[in-house]
Amino acid sequence: MPPFPAMYSVLSNQSLIEQVLSNYALEPPVNCRLLQQGGSDTYLVSAGTQRWILRITISGGSIAGHTEDAELLLKLATCRVPIARPIQRCDGSYVQELAALEGPRFATLFEFAHGTPPGKAITPAQSFTYGQAVARMHTCFDTLPQTSQRWRFDLTTMLDKPLLFWERLLNGRPGDVSYLRSLVPQLKQALEILVAEVPPLFGLCHGDLHKTNLLVTPEGGLTLIDFDGPLSYRAYDLAVLFWSMRDLPQAEAVCEAYLGGYTTLRHLSEPERAAIPYFVAARHIWINTVEIERATNGYTATGWIDDAHFDQFFDFLKRWVRDRCHLE
């Protein structure tokens, strides 16, 4: 009997040790345990007194694309951007393809980065350092080829495609569909005026710089994690932290410190600064689209997708657009 099809499988720890981690120069005995599931599965690997992080993609991509991601991180490390470097396999490569039930998945081993995500407890001091790290990253990205093979996170991806999704999803909420149909063209028009798809306004980005995609230590150390690596707007990269701080009491101080740290190392034009609130609204629309699609496609549970969630989604969006973007 053939294996039953799967949308998402949990890989065996022991098989990862035998078939993946055996390809690295690790001193036995090697241990591996699942830490976190999400956009990728994250495992803690230990051997002797040393630790590493193994990341396995959920689906999609190619070994060439994930190898390019690993090489990009190595280039960032040479620019003193605080990242966890990928570890080379014994054959000199960085990525291994795995034949999972649901299709190809890709495994990469990384240095272990000390620290914890600050999350809702992030402070202005941490945010200032965070901004400096992002500025150093953007500046390094400017020196690298902006290859057309990387996925483009442009306004079509950010706004047009999500609008089509929400039109299908909200067939019982015509008022909300009408609101989005009016709002999306206004956001696009404002952003097209403020930022163009040309360097250095548009180029290689992290893609997901929220308040939990960094690790901080008590001594003040910081590491950027979970790179998406699209070609996108640098102002969008900055806006993600603003979005992730929504409704938190220290949001204004944290976001001001973030841009303060950023501008100590990299120029931020007035149009880019003005674009940030519009990108926050775009982020809110896009990320909710992604999360709902993942759930309805079988990757996560769907119990949270209800009218209460939609009410919360539109409450923030309408308040933000009215107060920060001055749109109705």
Percentage of the chain exceeding pLDDT 90: 89
pLDDT value of residue 149: 76
Percentage of the chain exceeding pLDDT 70: 99
pLDDT value of residue 126: 98
- The tens digit of pLDDT for each residue in 144-174 reads 987 767 889 999 999 999 999 999 999 899 9
Taking 70 as the threshold, does the pLDDT of residue 130 lie above it? yes
Average pLDDT over residues 16-20: 98
H or E element in which residue 43 lies: strand 40-47
Confidence grade of residue 210 (pLDDT, cut at 50, 70, 90): very high
Confidence grade of residue 299 (pLDDT, cut at 50, 70, 90): confident
Sorted by where each starts, the structural domains of the chain and their CATH numbers stand as: 13-111 (3.30.200.20), 119-323 (3.90.1200.10)
- The tens digit of pLDDT for each residue in 220-269 reads 999 999 999 999 999 999 999 999 999 999 999 999 999 999 999 999 99
Give residues with Cβ within 8 angstroms of 310, minimum separation 6: 170, 173, 176
- Burial environment of residue 92 by CB neighbours within 10 A (0 to 12, 13 to 18, 19 or more): exposed
Task: Render 212-250 in DSSP notation, one character per residue.
Answer: TSEEE-TTS-EEE------EEEHHHHHHHHHHHTTT-TT
Q: What is the mean pLDDT of the chain?
A: 95
Q: pTM value?
A: 0.95
pLDDT value of residue 242: 98
Amino acid sitting at position 30: V
- Please state, as a whole number, how many other Cβ atoms lie within 10 Å of the Cβ of residue 149: 9
Average pLDDT over residues 95-105: 94
pLDDT value of residue 148: 66
More confident residue, 8 or 214: 214
Residue 107: name the closest of 87, 92, 91 by CA.
87
DSSP state of 83: B
pLDDT value of residue 58: 87
